[in-house]
Amino acid sequence: MLAPSQLRCTAFLACLACALLASGAALSQDVGKKIVTEGGSNGATACVACHGEDGAGNAAANYPRLSELTAAYMVRQLEAYRNGSRSSPIMAPIAAALTAEESQAVSEYYARQDAPVKATTDDAELLARGRHLALEGDWDNEIPSCVSCHGPGGKGLGGAHFPALAGQHAGYITSQIQAWQNDERSNDADGLMQAISARLSEEQVQAVAAYFANLPVLDEQAVAAAGARLAQQRAQQADETAESGEYFTPPDEATIPDDDFGAMVRLGKQIFVDTQNHAGEFVGNAQNCVDCHINAGRKAGSSPMWAAWGMYPAYRAKNDRVNTMIDRIQGCFRFSMNGTPPPADSDVMTALLSYTYWLSQGAPIGESLPGRGYPELSAPDKEPSYDRGEKIYAKSCAVCHSEDGRGKSVDGQSVFPPLWGSGAYNWGAGMHRIQTAAEFIHANMPLGRGGELLSEQEAWDVAAFINKHPRPQDPRNEGDMGATAEKFHNHACYYNDFEGSIASDMVDD
């Protein structure tokens, strides 16, 4: 993979600083290429035999493509073969024979490559099924979408975790999911991939593997047509299947009607899942609606929109008046999004209302449904602790939200939202309250292991840690933070009591 920084350096070699950097890089390139073609100094086999000189790998022999991966990710995998958290009779001795410098050099070499991808199947229905799982997940079985961690287009997040999937051989993706399933691989943060893999059916694995393997060369038209056919089937099944289960079931996306109203619903969903790009003028930080309302506002226990629509207008103590749903959504933009609320008669608002309303089809008006809001937590046994929270954060949160809380984005598209700093929710948002954050975290975090990884006490602790960090000012503050605290913060929070200050570059984009 050619990194943008290298492209720039190539173009500006005349620049002395670049020249110096380039000479160092060239040195490393030479070392990397030598190992790939000739092997390592301690007898590590030459990589070219299996992965090819361009890192294309070998689909038939199940050797992975390396050219789409980052150096940091490959270095981490070589370490995993050494420490046994990845098991491979072939790679274990090779990794063991590479020095740290050689590991770095060979990883950097492959990261620079750009091996072409060829289509391996034209089974449009298989690809369409894979795409649906990749983009929407299967939350009925607690499976988040693949792109919610592997980034838009499955291109990976660019660091040591969440590798690119686009272009990887289908067989290799399948074998790795099976390795997670069979405990032959365990080098994932907090066991996320192990947990999610365990929930995937064999059909799902085949479909999603085929999808990512073919993604760079997809016949978009054929897959879209197959997707539409599948959607029709799902829509029919949705009509025939009676609702069941613990929670209200919002309608399947496939049933959005193909008319003006449906277009507004679709626009609403786009705004909901990618507020930055579809309603950016109203957002003042790096958040999207979906960050607090997981699975596009469908997930029970994550403030699902289908449980909210039927409950407004309602009185809210927060602003001491009866709020319509428009007021409520405007509140999200003002506080959680730290922005300017979209006007009541704007298309953005109509679209969000239409999507929310559509999600609620068949729900009873005025009844508080199970799964509404975040599941309530009782008071913790021990006072929430910043220090304990800091450790939990480092272990279970930093891999996605970054050590400095700024979240992660790819190509300007937020993947993991910032939790503090200028890109985070402000001091007026519900999430700044320790209890609200603890409840959200316990039920939903880390994505795909909500409710099962963190204890209640851990959720309280990490919520305290996160919420003791600086974030944008409460927009209701008129200058005197003490007065604002007294007026609006009669609850457990760290407004006017946080530590540190907001760095100027706290938004990662």
Write out the DSSP string of 221-263: HHHHHHHHHHHHHHHHHHHHSPP-SSS--PPPGGGS-SSHHHH
205-264 positions binding its own copies, by CB under 8 A: 259-261, 264
Using CB under 8 A, pick the residue from 350, 385, 413, 496 that binds its own copies.
350
Instruction: Give how far Cα 98 sits from Cα of 72, 177, 487, Å.
Output: 15, 26, 62
CB 191 within 8 A of CB 185: no
CB nearer to its own copies: give 26 or 365. 365
Task: Give the one residue of 5, 324, 368, 501 binding its own copies; rule: CB under 8 A.
Answer: 324
Q: Is 333 in the site for its own copies (CB under 8 A)?
A: no
CB of 293 to its own copies, least distance (A): 18
Q: In the block, which residue shows the tokens 């008071």? A: 379
> Binding residue for its own copies (CB under 8 A) from 79, 184, 327, 404?
327
Cβ 320 to its own copies, closest distance in Å? 8
Of the residues 84, 364, 370, 412, which one makes contact with its own copies according to CB under 8 A: 364
Of the two residues 171 and 342, which places its CB atom closer to its own copies in the complex? 342
Task: Confirm or reject binding of residue 282 to its own copies (CB under 8 A).
Answer: no
In angstroms, give the least distance from the CB of 347 to its own copies. 9
Is-contact 298 306, C-beta < 8 A?
A: yes
Pick between residue 12 and residue 261 the one whose CB is nearest to its own copies.
Answer: 261
385: alpha, beta or left, given left = phi > 0 and alpha = psi -120 to 50? beta
Which DSSP helix (H) or strand (E) runs through 435?
helix 434-444
By CB under 8 A, is residue 49 in contact with its own copies? no
| Interface with its own copies, residue 367, by CB under 8 A | yes
| Identified binder of its own copies from the candidate list 43, 84, 280, 362, rule CB under 8 A | 362
Q: Burial of 24 by CB count in 10 Å (0-12 exposed, 13-18 middle, 19+ buried)?
A: exposed
Give the Cα separation of 242 and 249 in Å (integer).
10
Q: How far is the CB of 435 from its own copies (least distance, A)?
A: 23
Shortest spacing between CB 360 and its own copies, in angstroms: 5
Q: Which of 58, 92, 312, 390 binds its own copies (CB under 8 A)?
A: 312
CB 449 within 8 A of CB 195: yes
Residue 492 per-residue DSSP state: S
**344 near its own copies, judged by CB under 8 A:** yes
| Contact (Cβ atoms closer than 8 angstroms) between residue 146 and residue 136 | no
Integer Cα distance of 89 and 156 in angstroms: 27
Closest to its own copies by CB, 133 or 326: 326
Which chain residues interact with its own copies by CB under 8 A?
259-261, 264, 309-310, 312-315, 320-322, 324, 326-327, 343-345, 349-350, 353-354, 357-358, 360-367
